[in-house]
């Protein structure tokens, strides 16, 4: 059943975790009413953290992007990205060799700062891969879809190395009715072809929620039952929040359409605690 007001529900919590794309912004920019909703949360003393599976930009770049859209109150420490989690893993686990990647140079510069050399899959010579010690799916741009995905498959067939997926999203909306394939969708395709299991970061896995929870508690004392996770996707935002043990809200301003929501909830078994049209309404 549709709940009457995001703010009415959110006001009963001490902290709100917000997904970014589909909740705060979309293909048109900021979703209507979002700046006012964010300001209302701040006036009530409710802590805000943005949890995004966008691994292509740093916290500072994300905050700058919100500022340019007109949302000027978001601080970089309030943003937690799946790229941060992947970056930490690489820094601690991959200690030698080169890291191959599929994605843009910008995201590679941000995530692959482990002190090791990184190399785009288009520049890898498949006959000389001894020094490739890990591979990362970064984002869905910056490569030739007709050539580099197949090259990735052949690299990973030839060499058994850790494979990291920095963004688990399978798709994202590009208009009211249409979506595009995201990094997680490409990775899942390759994973299924190779019958291998990659290392996924971002929602619905718990690393990002745990990081956000620990970071939040540096500024006060927060229990899980005092936190609301708000997202537009059942299989990432809502499932991740449910698994972590916080209350969850599905908003219908992004990936999940109002006319499909009930059927998708029934089919998936992923049940949000609340459903609203948008945080801006």
pLDDT in tens, 7-66: 999 999 999 999 999 999 988 899 999 999 999 999 999 999 999 998 888 889 899 999
Q: Is 245 domain-assigned? A: yes
Q: Which of 200, 233, 267 is the endpoint of a domain?
A: 200
* Same domain flag for 173 and 104: yes
C-alpha torsion sign, points 149, 105, 27, 188: positive
Q: Is 124 domain-assigned? A: yes
Q: Which of 143, 176, 200 is the endpoint of a domain?
A: 200
* Same domain flag for 228 and 249: yes
Number of domains in the chain: 2
Q: Which domain holds residue 144?
A: 84-200
Q: Which of 170, 200, 230 is the endpoint of a domain?
A: 200
Report the alpha-carbon distance of residue 19 to residue 23 in Å, rounded.
6
Q: Is 7 domain-assigned? A: no
* Same domain flag for 166 and 130: yes
* Same domain flag for 149 and 46: no
**Could you report the per-residue pLDDT of 114-170, keeping only the tens digit for each?**
567 899 999 999 999 999 999 999 988 889 999 999 999 999 999 999 999 988 888
* Tokens, residue 24: 């705060």
* Same domain flag for 42 and 110: no
* Same domain flag for 193 and 95: yes
* Same domain flag for 89 and 196: yes
* Same domain flag for 170 and 100: yes
If pLDDT is split at 50, 70 and 90, which confidence band does 4 have?
Answer: low
Q: In Å, what is the CA distance from 151 to each residue of 41, 127, 154, 267?
A: 47, 12, 5, 35
**Could you report the per-residue pLDDT of 169-191, keeping only the tens digit for each?**
888 777 877 888 989 999 999 99
* Same domain flag for 95 and 184: yes
CATH number of the CATH domain containing 228: 3.40.50.1000
Residue in the block written with tokens 């930490």: 88
pTM summary value: 0.87
* Same domain flag for 48 and 92: no
Mean pLDDT over each residue of the chain, to the nearest integer: 91
CB atoms within 10 A of CB 246: 24
């Amino acid at each position: 059943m549709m709940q009457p007001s995001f703010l009415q529900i959110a006001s009963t919590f001490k902290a709100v975790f917000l997904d970014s794309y589909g909740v705060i912004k979309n293909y048109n920019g900021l979703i209507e009413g979002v700046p006012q909703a964010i300001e209302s949360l701040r006036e009530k003393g409710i802590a805000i953290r943005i949890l995004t599976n966008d691994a292509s930009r740093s916290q500072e770049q994300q905050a700058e992007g919100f500022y340019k859209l007109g949302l000027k109150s978001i601080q970089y420490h309030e943003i937690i990205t799946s790229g941060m989690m992947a970056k930490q893993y690489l820094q601690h686990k991959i200690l030698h060799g080169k890291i191959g990647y599929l994605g843009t140079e910008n995201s590679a510069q941000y995530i692959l700062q482990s002190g090791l050399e990184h190399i785009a899959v288009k520049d890898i010579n498949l006959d000389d891969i001894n020094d490739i010690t890990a591979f990362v799916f970064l984002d869905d741009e910056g490569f030739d879809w007709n050539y580099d995905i197949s090259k990735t498959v052949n690299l990973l067939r030839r060499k058994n190395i850790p494979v990291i997926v920095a963004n688990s999203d399978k798709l994202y909306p590009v208009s009211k009715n249409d979506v595009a394939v995201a990094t997680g969708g490409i990775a899942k395709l390759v994973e299924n072809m190779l019958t291998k299991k990659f290392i996924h970061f971002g929602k619905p896995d718990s690393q990002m929620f745990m990081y956000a929870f620990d970071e939040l508690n540096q500024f006060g004392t927060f229990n899980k039952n005092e936190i609301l996770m708000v997202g537009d996707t059942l299989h990432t935002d809502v499932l991740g929040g449910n698994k972590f043990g916080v209350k969850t809200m599905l908003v219908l301003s992004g990936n999940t359409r109002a006319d499909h929501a009930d059927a998708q909830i029934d089919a998936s078994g992923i049940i949000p605690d609340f459903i609203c049209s948008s945080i801006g309404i």
